[in-house]
Amino acid sequence: MTQGNPWVRSASGSDVQDRPEMSGEDWREWLPGASPEPVAAAEPVEPATGPTAPQPHVPMPEEALPVRRSHAAASLWVVGAHGGAGESTLAELDGSWRAADHAWPELPTGAVAPCVVVARTSVRGLLAARAALTQWAASGAGASVQLLGLVLVADAPGKLPPPIRDLAKVVGGGAPRVWDVPWVEPWRLGDPVTERVPRPVSKLVSQLRSLAATATAAADPSHNEEKS
């Protein structure tokens, strides 16, 4: 007994070549219960709203993150300002990103390390973020670091209380850019990579990819020679 092909919508026996719809990108329409997924457009990167380089006459904070030598490769370094900041969770959103283990990465001479600082929206987290940004502004993060911005991850569901929201605004003023990540319940269960992530998260990933690629290309002498 000949069994029909389960991947063909109709068991009419006609050859696949007789179905022009099955060629090219439309083949997914013939899978049971499947349809082509739209390709997400790259998110435009917003211009910097804060300092993009260390500033003169900024004193080093008393509590500073270590600067740690590394030869690891990463398109983006995620620097947790404190324990439980969400450093590992954020780094897992892209396979080429790396958690910096609560330290500034120091790469071989001439190499650039695109970095983003991540902190929770608790008072403790925001104060730790302020210390990390102050350290960077005081040129204490090392020569390799190119700071892209600050990611503030919600420490609880719901809106921030006004005092914490005001503190977050003040702290964020010391970073080139600030991204706000809402409470994501699957992350609490240890499942950072989900099929559907909130819009702010997908926007964050797209913008960080673009910013990191631009930072790396700008620091590459061969890239600059080709451009000229």
Element (H, E) at 151: strand 145-153
- Six-digit token string for 141: 């993060």
Q: Is the pLDDT of residue 19 over 50?
A: no
Flag whether pLDDT at 30 surpasses 80. no
CA distances from 61 to 83, 104, 110, 134, 135 (A): 18, 15, 26, 7, 6
What is the pLDDT at residue 179?
97
- Percentage with pLDDT > 90 across the chain: 65
For residue 224, what pLDDT band results from cuts at 50, 70 and 90?
very low
Instruction: Report the length, in residues, of the chain.
Output: 228
Question: What's the confidence (pLDDT) of residue 17?
Answer: 42
Which of 15-29, 95-109, 142-156, 173-187 is the least confident region? Answer: 15-29
Is pLDDT of 138 > 50?
Answer: yes
CA distance 80 to 60: 18
Question: Per-residue pLDDT averaged across 165-178, rounded?
Answer: 98
Which tokens go with 169? 């605004």
Q: How confident is the model at residue 44 (pLDDT cuts 50, 70, 90)?
A: confident
The pLDDT mean for the chain works out to 82
Predicted local distance difference test score (pLDDT) of residue 47:
84
